[in-house]
Amino acid sequence: MAASPALGSGRGRLRAHGRIRARAVAAGCALVVCGAVAAPAAAAAEDDAAGRKPTVVLIHGAFADGSSWNGVIERLERRGYPVFAPANPLRGLATDSAYIASVLDSVKGPIVLVGHSYGGAVISTAAAGNSRVKSLVYVSALMPDKGESGQSLAARFPSELATATKAVPYRAGGGVRGTDLYLKRDKLHRVFAADLPTGTAKLLAVTQRPATTATFSEKAKVAAWRQIPSWFLVARQDKTINPRQERFEAKRAHSHTVEINSSHVAMIAHPQAVTDLIIKAATATGSARPSPAANPSDSRARAESRPADTAAAWVTAGAAALLLGGGALLVGRRRRRRPR
């Protein structure tokens, strides 16, 4: 039986109305998803527009002090970065990292945490659980995993440091006794700072700060680089930490890595190269940031270490499913409404 013109036009209007509703729902879903994806990007853009920069906290290693960062500090400040170079106590990994963690608590806003030599072990522990530390930067540094020490890493990757130190017993208040390690003055230039002028190396030898044996023997209990993106500068001419060890650490941590022809004290000999790497860490966003390393046996850690662009892909896939589901629901409703 043929439908009357009035009935046919009514069905046409119903189908048209259904199509309009489907398009409206799809558009609404798309707006919600796009808003969810765009919100973090908008917030980042607002931070950039406000001109806020993270504070760069510089941690020196053994046999050195905060002045070893002078050339880097000058360059960072010229670029508008707030900088802080606190004293590293050099009394043992647990003590030093607890102290530096308390220093970080006094810094407002996001932080780029940088460690040289033994300072790398300190920042790996001090940054654990601190959500304001956005990047870790290692400069010819120790980067121990949980259960490792500077001593255990050096056993795998020997260097000339073992032949360049001397032990000196010390006493402190309350009957505390221990052993400090110094660099031998006649070995410091070759092993520690071969590309610096002789006069500068002699000053470093005279003013060096000793580190207790505990700084190298204490095992790390955490490894913040497994959760926080990292950057690493490998010093190819390093005789204090074996460059093979530095490459091993950087590769294991999925660090963004650069190599330069430098002695162990790259921040003194090549302050511009070190500054450039710190700025890369400070300005990297999204897919430009290296993925944090995760324990291969820890599926939860693997999930937490997905890069931002992977997360965006998951959101996009969810959006597609939502839109397809909404369209199917509307089609089903239209079919139920058709008279038989």
Compare 8 and 69 and report the one with higher pLDDT: 69
**pTM: predicted TM-score of the whole model, two decimal places:** 0.74
Least confident piece of the model among 64-73, 189-198, 214-223, 280-289: 280-289
In this structure, the answer to whether residues 92 and 13 fall within a common structural domain is no
In this structure, the answer to whether residues 297 and 317 fall within a common structural domain is no
What's the pLDDT tens digit per position in 322-339? 233 344 433 344 444 444
Residue 83 pLDDT = 98
In this structure, the answer to whether residues 94 and 28 fall within a common structural domain is no
| 129 burial level (CB within 10 Å; 0-12, 13-18, 19+) | exposed
In this structure, the answer to whether residues 236 and 108 fall within a common structural domain is yes
Compare 171 and 29 and report the one with higher pLDDT: 171
Over residues 115-131, the mean pLDDT reads: 98
Non-local (6+) Cβ contacts of 102 within 8 A are: none
Compare 13 and 275 and report the one with higher pLDDT: 275
Domain count, the chain: 2
What percent of the chain stands above pLDDT 90?
Answer: 67
In this structure, the answer to whether residues 93 and 69 fall within a common structural domain is yes
In this structure, the answer to whether residues 289 and 203 fall within a common structural domain is yes
In this structure, the answer to whether residues 310 and 224 fall within a common structural domain is no
Compare 316 and 183 and report the one with higher pLDDT: 183
The helix-helix angle for 93-105 and 118-126 (nearest 10°) equals 60
DSSP conformation class of 228: S
Residue 43 pLDDT = 38
In this structure, the answer to whether residues 39 and 142 fall within a common structural domain is no
Over residues 119-129, the mean pLDDT reads: 98
Position 3: which residue type? A
In this structure, the answer to whether residues 246 and 107 fall within a common structural domain is yes
DSSP bridge pairs for 168: 180
Residue 8 pLDDT = 43
Question: By residue range, what is the domain housing residue 39?
Answer: 5-47+306-337
In this structure, the answer to whether residues 268 and 318 fall within a common structural domain is no
Over residues 109-133, the mean pLDDT reads: 98
Average pLDDT, the chain: 80
Count other Cβ atoms within 10 Å, centred on residue 199: 8
Of 109, 135, 114, 136, which is closest to residue 51 (Cα–Cα)? 109
Binned at pLDDT 50, 70 and 90, residue 292 comes out as confident
User: What's the CA gap between 112 and 122, in Å, rounded?
Assistant: 14
Binned at pLDDT 50, 70 and 90, residue 285 comes out as confident
Residue 289 pLDDT = 79
Least confident piece of the model among 26-30, 102-106, 173-177, 314-318: 314-318
In this structure, the answer to whether residues 95 and 229 fall within a common structural domain is yes
Contact 229/253 with Cβ under 8 angstroms? no
Q: Indicate which CATH number applies to the domain containing 241.
A: 3.40.50.1820
